[in-house]
Amino acid sequence: MNVIKSLEHILLPYDYIVVGAGITGCTIAALLTGAGFFGIHKNKRVLVIEKREDVGGNCTDEVDYNTNVMVHQYGAHIFRTSDEEVWKFVNEFGKMHPFVHKVLANYKGELYSFPINFMTVSKISDCVYTPEEMKEWIGARKTLPKENPNLEEHCTSMIGKRLYEMFIKGYTKKQWGKDPSELPASIIKRIPIRYTANDSYFGDDKIYQGIPQEGYTNMMEKMLRNCDIIFDCDFLKNKEKIETLCKNKIIYTGAIDEFFGVEGQLEWRSLRFVEEERREEYFQPTPVVNYTSEDVPYTRIIEHKHFMPWRETKGTYITKEFPWDWEPGRDKFYPVPTEDNLEKVRNLMSRVPENYIFAGRLAEYKYYDMDVAILNAAKIASQLE
Ligand code: UDP
């Protein structure tokens, strides 16, 4: 990774320019410059433009020097995929340490096994001792399925009203700032429901799960090893100058509404993190505890040291995650996929200039997981000449 001080230091134009050093930008830049294999062999000159001072986007992590805990700066990131090629690809940039993510739910002060599984229902019901009995218990409480259900209708038809109200309703309202009846069911389909005691957080298709041994920032810096990069550079403020430095396409991974100067037209959900160093060895039994009732203002507490149990640490480090609306000056985390927002995005997408490719969660306004972002990025890189 060759850091360039400013745009003024550039003499020769680049084959491609990538805007944003998050997972999408880093994957495209890696594949265009021959760092990393995906059945793609290219040897292009690529410049990466990054607004922040480090690589990693919202996957960025950093060691807290008092505790020696590796802290996920923008919320917990656990890499998982069902795609062997994606798994091989990330492993090229440092070893992925095997990790199975576990989460507990705290509802009104009680801890429950989560995602909803045999142990959750067995604790609530007093009369469920086998998976079959769990099926019967839920079956007696489920509502009838609807066509094109919203998030609430989808959940109550899967798990009934009581489980929905304990574990989904309050959390979802806090997370999205909307009533679940106004949200699409797609948001929650990633969370499994199991009739066994398996409490792995991610779906059973995610057969590869891990944490990069040296952290995400380190992994993504390696992805950019053959690139030039400028930090602290706001692409949109320097757009005209940067366009003259690019021979082919600019791959833009910033927010779509910002690009078109209509920032605020689309809704985004943002997060506020409140961090704390602590003296005890562990604060909570799992890496993440979700606070599912509405009366607690945060949605979850992350205890980062669980992600790297092999690291020597002194005390521990936790982060409380408070969702809030996006407004200028706040980071954008989640697109809000209501029909109205999606219609606006389709309109903006039809105006993307010829010499640009829009890719990733912010530019496409899609709620991508890291592995899907990598797959899409690899597809884009393979199509570029
Ligand atoms: N969710 C919930 N209760 C929980 C955890 C998740 O209702 O305890 C819902 C919520 O709507 C959330 C969605 O499931 O937005 C996806 O959760 P996940 O943990 O996968 O979200 P992310 O880590 O991407 O924020």
Q: Is 106 in the pocket of ligand 1 (CB under 6 A)?
A: no
Confidence grade of residue 16 (pLDDT, cut at 50, 70, 90) = very high
Cβ(156)–Cβ(164) below 8 Å: yes
pLDDT, mean over the chain: 96
Q: Is 105 in the pocket of ligand 1 (CB under 6 A)?
A: yes
* Ligand 1 center to 347 CA (angstroms): 28
Question: Which atom of ligand 1 has the smallest separation from the CA of 300?
Answer: 8
Question: What's the rounded mean pLDDT across residues 143-169?
Answer: 95
- At 315-360, the pLDDT tens digits run 999 999 999 999 999 999 999 989 999 999 999 999 999 999 999 9
pLDDT at 62: 97
* Ligand 1 center to 172 CA (angstroms): 7
Mutational pocket test of ligand 1: of 78, 103, 172, 174, the residue with most ligand atoms within 8 Å of the beta carbon: 172
If 0-12 CB within 10 Å is exposed, 13-18 middle and 19+ buried, where does residue 356 land?
middle
Question: Which atom of ligand 1 has the smallest separation from the CA of 290?
Answer: 8
Confidence grade of residue 40 (pLDDT, cut at 50, 70, 90) = confident
- At 265-324, the pLDDT tens digits run 999 999 999 999 999 999 999 999 999 999 999 999 999 999 999 999 999 999 999 999
Q: Supply the residue whose CA is at minimum distance from atom 10 of ligand 1.
A: 172
Over the range 3-33, which residues count as b (16 or more CB within 10 Å of their CB) and which as e? ebeeeeebeeebbbbbbbbbbbbbbbbbbbb
pLDDT at 124: 95
- At 203-239, the pLDDT tens digits run 999 999 999 999 999 999 999 999 999 999 999 999 9
Q: Supply the residue whose CA is at minimum distance from atom 3 of ligand 1.
A: 168
Question: What's the rounded mean pLDDT across residues 34-54?
Answer: 91
Q: Is pLDDT of 41 > 90?
A: no
Confidence grade of residue 165 (pLDDT, cut at 50, 70, 90) = very high
Q: Supply the residue whose CA is at minimum distance from atom 19 of ligand 1.
A: 191
pLDDT at 215: 97
pLDDT at 347: 97
Whether omega before 98 lies within 30 degrees of 0, making that bond cis, reads no
* Ligand 1 center to 171 CA (angstroms): 7
pLDDT at 36: 80
Give the active site residues.
190, 194, 269, 300, 321, 367, 369
Question: Which atom of ligand 1 has the smallest separation from the CA of 190?
Answer: 20
Confidence grade of residue 174 (pLDDT, cut at 50, 70, 90) = very high
pLDDT at 85: 95
